[in-house]
Chains A and B, each alone.
Chain A
């Protein structure tokens, strides 16, 4: 069983609120990723990190930001949420070039 955790699992908030989605892994993986996914649809990479103090934007433009201060922790922040941000956000980690371990996801609804 993968040791990668995301909180909250579900979040309903109003427009304009600031939110942080938490992601932690205990496997010591250097590489971590954030994907955005609408139900049953393709995975869009929005941010990734190859180690502490290293973050890059992914293929899909996103208004979110990330930080990587500790190896095990890779939070994603939205400064001002909008209805267009409603989606599922999946965190993953890997020990390159091996498999990705995904968290269970955070389902965000912005009203």
Chain B
């Protein structure tokens, strides 16, 4: 079955440093979604990427979808303490009908 791998599992940064998490799928994806889960909270949708090579920005967050539609990344510029949480990618197979989540990257930001 489809596997979605996400690295790193944990990332500790100083406030102001950049952060990147990577997502890799074993199969070609129809789309990829990103979610953020604050400590003690529930996952909240951030964005969906559909097109090969697509890049989308949300303020300090930049999302990329690979040309082969098998990998994606989320980059945060100049992290803030409000960025703390776990970031999950979730991929939808081209032949599938449900999302497969990556293991998540837990981000901690030291003030």
Residue numbers of A with Cβ under 8 A of B are 31, 33, 40-43, 45, 48, 50, 59, 90, 96-105
Contact = CB atoms under 8 A, between A and B. Distances in A.
A40 B86 contact: yes
A101 B45 contact: yes
Contact of A100 (B1, B43, B97, B103): B43
Interface in B94-109: 97-99, 101-104, 106
B98 A41 contact: no
Interface in B78-95: 86, 88, 90, 92
Which one of B42, B88, B102, B104 has the highest number of Cβ atoms from chain A below 10 Å of its Cβ? B42
B81 to A, nearest CB: 17
B30 interface: yes
Contacts of A42: 88, 101-104
A33 B100 CA distance: 12
A45 B33 CA distance: 16
A98 B90 CA distance: 11
Contacts of B86: 40
A90 B41 CA distance: 10
